[in-house]
C-alpha cells in the first residue's frame, strides 16, 4: 500500500509534458462529510489532502482528463444499535452501543471534464465526473459495546437485532462515482464534489447493507 501511494504521487509530479497543452498540477486541502443513505447515524467533518493533474490533449478544445490521489479520513457513527454476542443469533445475547466507522482511505480518482474560461476576469470553471476507487487503510477509533442484554432461554431466537455478524467485509476496495465543479481564479480555486458509492454488505464485521455517500469541499493551488 505504501509503495503504491508513493509511486502514484511521484507519477503525478514527474509525468512528462508530452501533450500539446501544458498540464496543470495542483495540491488540494479540504473537508468531507459522509453519511449513509438509509441507516442514519451521526457524521462529522473529515480531512481530504491530495495531489492531482489535469491534461488537455487537444487544443483549442477545452476538454480534459485528469487524475487525483488523496488521503481521506471519514467520520461516521451508528448510534444505539444492537447486534448478537456470537455468530449464531439464535443462541446469543444482545450487545448494544454505538458503532464507530471513523476510517482513513487512499482514494484514486480519474475524471473527464470541460473547462469554461472567462478570460477577462482570469477565471476558469471546471465541470467534471468520473470513477473513484477507495482503499481502506485503518479504522481510527475503537469498537466497544456499551452494555450487554442477557436474554432468557425463551427469548433467544426471537430478538430482532439491528445488525448480524458477518465473517468479512468483502472487497477491500470501494468504488464510487463522482461529479463536481471547480472555480479557479488565477492559481487558486475551490472545488465541490459529490461521491455516490456502491452498497457495502458488511462493515466492521456487521451486516450493514447500505452505502456511504460523501460531499467534498476543497481549496486548491495550481502550479
- For residue 7, what pLDDT band results from cuts at 50, 70 and 90? low
Find the domain containing 110 and state its range.
25-80+98-149+170-205+212-222
- For residue 169, what pLDDT band results from cuts at 50, 70 and 90? low
Q: For 79-87, which contacts have Cβ atoms below 8 Å and span 24 or more sequence positions?
A: 79/40, 79/41, 79/42, 81/162, 81/163, 82/149, 82/159, 82/161, 82/162, 82/163, 83/161, 83/162, 83/163, 83/164, 83/165, 83/206, 84/161, 84/164, 84/165, 85/148, 86/165, 87/165
Q: What is the mean pLDDT of residues 42-65?
A: 91
Q: What is the mean pLDDT of residues 191-209?
A: 87
CATH value at residue 115:
2.40.160.20
The predicted-structure confidence for 80-132, as pLDDT tens digits, reads as follows 999 999 899 988 999 999 989 899 999 999 999 999 999 889 999 999 999 99
**Does 59 score more than 80 pLDDT?**
no
Give CA separation, 135 vs 5, 155, 161, in Å.
Answer: 10, 41, 30
Q: How far is CA 99 from the centre of its chain?
A: 18
- 36 falls within a domain: yes
Residue written as cell 508513493? Answer: 6
- 45 falls within a domain: yes
**Does 8 score more than 50 pLDDT?**
no
- 47 falls within a domain: yes
Q: What percent of the chain is modeled with pLDDT above 90?
A: 53
Domain tally for the chain? 1
- 87 falls within a domain: no
pLDDT, greater one: 100 or 1: 100
- For residue 168, what pLDDT band results from cuts at 50, 70 and 90? low
Cite the DSSP H helix spans in the chain.
2-14
- 75 falls within a domain: yes
Q: How far is CA 47 from the centre of its chain?
A: 10
Lowest-confidence segment of 3-7, 31-35, 110-114, 128-132 by average pLDDT: 3-7
Q: How far is CA 38 from the centre of its chain?
A: 17
Q: What percent of the chain is modeled with pLDDT above 70?
A: 87
**Does 148 score more than 70 pLDDT?**
yes
**Does 55 score more than 70 pLDDT?**
yes
- 112 falls within a domain: yes
Reported pTM: 0.79
Give CA separation, 21 vs 45, 124, 181, 185, in Å.
Answer: 37, 16, 21, 19
pLDDT attached to residue 20 = 41
The predicted-structure confidence for 177-199, as pLDDT tens digits, reads as follows 999 999 999 999 999 999 998 87
Three-state DSSP at 9 gives helix
pLDDT, greater one: 108 or 204: 108
**Do 94 and 45 meet the contact criterion of CB atoms below 8 Å apart?**
no
- 135 falls within a domain: yes
Amino acid at each position: 500500500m505504501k509503495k503504491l501511494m508513493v509511486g502514484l504521487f511521484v507519477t503525478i509530479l514527474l509525468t512528462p509534458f508530452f501533450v500539446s497543452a501544458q498540464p496543470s498540477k495542483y495540491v488540494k486541502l479540504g473537508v468531507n462529510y459522509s453519511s449513509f443513505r438509509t441507516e442514519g447515524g451521526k457524521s462529522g467533518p473529515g480531512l481530504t489532502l491530495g495531489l492531482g493533474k489535469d491534461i488537455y490533449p487537444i487544443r483549442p478544445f477545452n476538454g480534459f482528463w485528469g487524475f487525483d490521489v488523496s488521503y481521506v479520513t471519514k467520520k461516521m457513527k451508528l448510534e444505539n444499535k444492537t447486534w448478537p454476542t456470537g455468530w449464531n443469533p439464535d443462541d446469543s445475547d444482545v450487545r448494544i452501543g454505538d458503532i464507530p466507522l471513523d476510517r482513513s482511505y487512499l482514494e484514486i480518482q480519474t475524471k473527464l471534464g470541460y473547462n469554461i474560461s472567462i478570460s477577462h476576469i482570469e477565471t476558469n470553471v471546471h465541470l467534471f465526473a468520473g470513477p473513484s476507487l477507495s482503499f481502506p487503510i485503518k479504522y481510527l477509533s475503537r469498537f466497544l459495546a456499551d452494555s450487554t442484554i442477557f436474554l432468557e432461554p425463551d427469548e433467544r431466537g426471537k430478538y430482532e437485532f439491528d445488525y448480524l455478524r458477518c465473517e468479512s467485509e468483502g472487497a477491500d476496495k470501494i468504488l464510487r462515482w463522482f461529479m463536481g465543479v471547480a472555480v479557479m481564479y488565477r492559481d487558486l480555486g475551490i472545488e465541490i464534489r459529490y461521491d455516490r458509492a456502491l452498497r457495502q454488505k458488511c462493515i466492521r464485521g456487521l451486516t450493514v447493507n447500505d452505502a456511504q455517500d460523501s460531499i467534498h469541499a476543497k481549496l486548491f493551488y495550481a502550479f
